[in-house]
Structures are given as C-alpha cells and as structure tokens.
Structure 1
Amino acid sequence: MQALIVLYQIVSMIVNVLIMLIIIQFVIGLLFAFNVIGRNEFLASFYDGINRLLDPVLRPIRRLLPDTGSIDFSPIVLILLMNILLTILSSVIAA
C-alpha cells in the first residue's frame, strides 16, 4: 500500500509540473501574439523549449480533436486527462 501512495505522489508531482508548463506556454504565447513583449530572445528560446517538451504529448490529442482554427483545445484536454488519471489513482489507493 505504501508503494501505491509513493507512486501517486510521483505521478501527482509530474502532473503538476506539466500543468504549470502548459500555463506558462499559454501565457508566453499570448504575450507574443499580442506583441506585449516584442521578440525577446530569452523568452522565445524558453517558449520553444516548452513547445518541444509538450509537443509529443499534445500532438496525438491534436490529431483526435477537430480543427477549430486558431484555438487549440489540446492543452485543456491534456489537463483534464491528467486530472482524471489522478482521480483514478487516488480511488485505487483509497479502496
């Protein structure tokens, strides 16, 4: 039982980091889109790095979702799926 709790904590930390990265990606993307910060080289490379980390996870979700134009719903779907995973793991541990 202790091993399941540790597994849940590890998965929870990974999910929290991914959610933070998704939010940071969203905010920096908005700042670039509305030209609030111009083209800052540091933020551009940081944004590119986040995109490279998240793209392998978001790409399969993007393929499944219908094309909605300029709005990308795949980060929201990923956050929901990760929260569902945490809920299932917590119910397995509680049982």
Structure 2
Amino acid sequence: MVHALVDIADLLLSIVTWIIIGQVILSWLFAFNVLNTSSHGVRTLAVAIDRITAPLYRPIRRILPDFGGIDFSPLVILILIQVLKRLLAGAEAQYYLGG
C-alpha cells in the first residue's frame, strides 16, 4: 500500500516537472518570436499551463528578489520537486526496512 502511494506521488511530481519544463520552453518560444501569441490554440495552451503553474510559482516569487526579468521560480520548484522525490524514496525505504 505504501509503495503504491509513493508511486502515485512520484508520478504526479513527474507530471508537474514536465508541465513546468513545457511552460519554460513555451515562454522561450514566445520570447524569441518562434511562436505567435495571436494564434488561438497556442494562446489557449499557454493560458492553461500558466493557470496550472501560477499557484506553484506565486510563493517562490514572493521570496526571490527581482533578477531583472529572469524568472528563477521554475528552477526553484524543479529543485524542490527533486528533493521531495528523494524524501519520498527515503521514507519508503525506511518504512520497508522497519525503521
């Protein structure tokens, strides 16, 4: 049962990781005018991803100083996700070792 819960949490964290990576790449494509923001489909995708990631970024953006237009909050979230995944794996191992 514990293994299944850890696997589900790991899967969800992996999905969030890929959503964040996709959002970062999309923002770069917008910044360098590779994608046109006037396209309805692209704009809808960008808004949907922004609505998913904004609640994650908001607390980090409050803490981080302004870096002159560079947003490091996705990087911080990705690092925190990796820390959570390692903590989950450690907790699962400890559970099965009987500690």
TM-score (norm 2): 0.88
Partner of residue 65, structure 2 = 66
Aligned counterpart, 1:93: 92
Q: Write the deviation string for residues 24-81 of structure 1: whole angstroms up to 9, x where unpaired.
A: 1111111111111222221111011100111011100111111112111111111111
Corresponding residue for 1:75? Answer: 74
1:23 is the counterpart of 2:52: no
* Percent of aligned pairs with the same amino acid: 35
When the two chains are superposed, the root-mean-square deviation of aligned CA atoms in Å is 1.0
Unaligned runs of 5+ in 1: none
Greater C-alpha radius of gyration:
2
Gaps of 5+ in 2: 95-99
Kindly report structure 1 stretches of 4+ aligned residues shifted beyond 3 Å: none
Q: How many residues align?
A: 93
Q: What's 2:11 paired with?
A: 13
CA distance, structure 2, for counterparts of residue 69 and residue 20 of structure 1: 26
TM-score (norm 1): 0.91
